[in-house]
Structure 1
């Protein structure tokens, strides 16, 4: 169901006026961040005037930013409205399958280049994620850091750019995932298993664990979209 909560945008979001020379880029980056972090949820209508008023800018840079976001696949222009892209459950599963193929390739390229410093960084990230008082947003940020830190070892900027583009499409749904699970214990167990496989340079088992990890996440997101209980 499409919701329109942007009339309240000034009260719930950072509404400090933008005072930089590159207004168009700043508006674009802020809106992109709101979408990819789930501040603007999939299916939500966007009021160009409300956004402009919140940012303290005219409607022109907002409209231009939204056109750029349309090219990114993050919003959809209708006849009289702009809406945050809402993927169907089939489309969500397809995006996760694309993500899996790319991340397995990154793992294949990274596994032989991992050194002890890389392992130490991954351990440090997991330790931060295990804090009992960690907030949902921080956990999501560290979750992406964990995967990205390993894939950095692939030494392939082009592959990492493709992965980041797919992550941008998935991240709004990761907000749904994070708000659905009771805790992150299962995800953390999977992360720990993956780290041990990375440490042991066990590529075949790591590819399997990566597939299981992303399948679990995708099923949790789909269950949330369908209003069902999360998978065990």
Structure 2
């Protein structure tokens, strides 16, 4: 059974990695303890863990989101891609029959869905299955932290229609088949290419959101100037 701290940690982590909070949000222990109807101790402990994960930075009153520069964000994408490619390469050598069934099941399920958010969730499950098939706990732990940092820096925000996943499905299928045939180099290269495409999509979304915010701010300033 999860502790109160861990439950709060999981909830806040999910919010942070899904773009729930605006960039200037302030997470104050007192306010969160009232929201979760608990004392401030488990809230403070959960926030401290999120700071350790690189998702928050402390302020005088509590914590705020850790904002990363473009260069820092690209560094995260690069490290994440290398580690995931290593996981795919290892999975090609170490996967068991059970691992292959899981990979096929997650990919088949994703292709049966229509809602973009549900498709992404199922494809994330596929990525988790690749990492588990690598049978390397250190890589899995490092990638869990990196995933959260990437999602906080560039969360999926822009709605997409389901048919934009056609290329992504093909990429996932290519990696799956390389793992099945134990072609470690092909699995590694295909995973790197997949991450490159994913990185480019997320960067476009981040830049689009920034442009929209800039435009809104400029419009508000013009309106104030005309009053």
Same-fold status (TM-score > 0.5)? yes
Alpha carbons of structure 1 residues 174 and 142: separation in structure 2 relative to 1, 3 Å:
farther
Residue 179 (structure 1) aligned with residue 194 (structure 2): no
User: Which one of the candidate residues 152, 155, 163 is aligned to 2:135?
Assistant: 155
Query: Do 1:110 and 1:154's aligned partners in 2 also have CA atoms closer than 8 Å?
Result: yes
TM-score, normalised by the number of residues in structure 1: 0.77
Q: How does 1:86-165 map to 2 (within 5 A)?
A: 86-136=67-117, 138-165=118-145
The structure in which a higher percent of residues are helix is 2
Deviations, residues 205-225 of structure 1 (Å, cap 9, x unaligned): 222211111111111111112
Deviations, residues 153-185 of structure 1 (Å, cap 9, x unaligned): 222222221222212222335642x63544322
Query: Do 1:43 and 1:85's aligned partners in 2 also have CA atoms closer than 8 Å?
Result: no
Query: Do 2:13 and 2:50's aligned partners in 1 also have CA atoms closer than 8 Å?
Result: yes
> Aligned Cα RMSD in Å?
2.5
TM-score, normalised by the number of residues in structure 2: 0.78
Instruction: Give the unaligned 5+ runs of structure 1.
Output: 1-19
**Distance (Å, rounded) in 2 between the aligned partners of 1:181 and 1:94:** 26
Q: What displacement does 1:89 show?
A: 2.4
Query: How many residue pairs were aligned?
Result: 207
Q: What displacement does 1:21 show?
A: 8.9
**Distance (Å, rounded) in 1 between the aligned partners of 2:11 and 2:175:** 33
User: Which one scores higher on RCO, CA 8 angstroms, separation ≥ 6?
Assistant: 2
Q: What displacement does 1:110 show?
A: 1.8
